[in-house]
Amino acid sequence: MSATIERRDLRMMLNKVPEVTIWFWIIKILCTSVGESFADYINETLGFGLVNTTVLFGVLLVGALVVQFRTRAYTPWIYWLTVVLVSVEGTLLTDNLTDGMGVPLWISSTAFAALLVAVFGAWYARERTLSIHAINTRSREGWYWLTVLVTFALGTATGDWTLELTGWAPGTAVLLPLGLILATIVAWRAGVNPVLTFWIAYILTRPLGANIGDFLASDKSEGGLGLGTLVPSVGFLAAILAVVVYLSVSKVDRTEEAAPLEPDEPDEMAA
């Protein structure tokens, strides 16, 4: 009997994703802004090159994921470090297709959208839930991070495609994803499925953060603030660090209850 209990204890872990509070969305937008500005800084300003930058951050991402998967509960510093690296790598994946291989943005946007639908379909078929309140197994954690990577790549492609179609200045471009996010919040409040509205908002924060980064970095002649890519990158990283320290101390975004590795009942998410 004791051996059975011991094996069950080893198959238990806490939810690996933070609660969806205002802090979640603030730090998510900061991470997406870093993904845009920091990738551009390493690739263009330092002249590291697109392929080399992609490989570098790919290696760093794999290392962060190894640490993330070895934890048994949500740990703010490693979780958000992984999100930052996924943001950078997702941006670089789209940039490689667009700048390195000449793939039109409408094709990459369509391809990433189809891939995201396929990932969601496979995730649900395997786990019977897409709730981020149920990331309490290794399998679900794997699906979750794959989904996050695809959403960053998709957000980058669709955001850049929108700018290509409209020709908007960086400041004006912020308004479209911001408006769509507000519409998504209204839909959620009106009773639209919370899992669906969460993931829509999650995707939309990518172009929002990227456009904010572009607005800060772009020359004043192009409608930006002319700060370059280094200053916004450092500022965003400092802000992320401050929020992570606050979350680590306050624990306001923790999920405290453990769940079995393979629960029988599906879960619902409140975004």
Could you read off the pLDDT of 7-57 as tens digits, one per residue?
333 344 568 889 888 999 999 998 888 877 777 778 777 778 888 888 989
Pick from 224, 245, 200, 195: which is nearest to 36 by CA?
Answer: 224
What is the distance between the alpha carbons of residues 77 and 247, in angstroms, rounded to a whole number?
9
**From residue 217, how far is each of 92, 190, 206, 222, 225 by CA, in Å?**
18, 37, 16, 10, 6
User: What average pLDDT score do residues 149-166 get?
Assistant: 87
Given this model, what pLDDT does residue 44 score? Answer: 75
Give Cβ neighbours of residue 200 (< 8 Å, ≥ 6 apart): 184
| Residue 103, SS3 per DSSP | coil
259: pLDDT strictly greater than 80? no
User: What average pLDDT score do residues 50-76 get?
Assistant: 92
Give Cβ neighbours of residue 153 (< 8 Å, ≥ 6 apart): 90, 91, 93, 94, 108, 112
Does residue 101 or residue 264 have the better pLDDT? 101
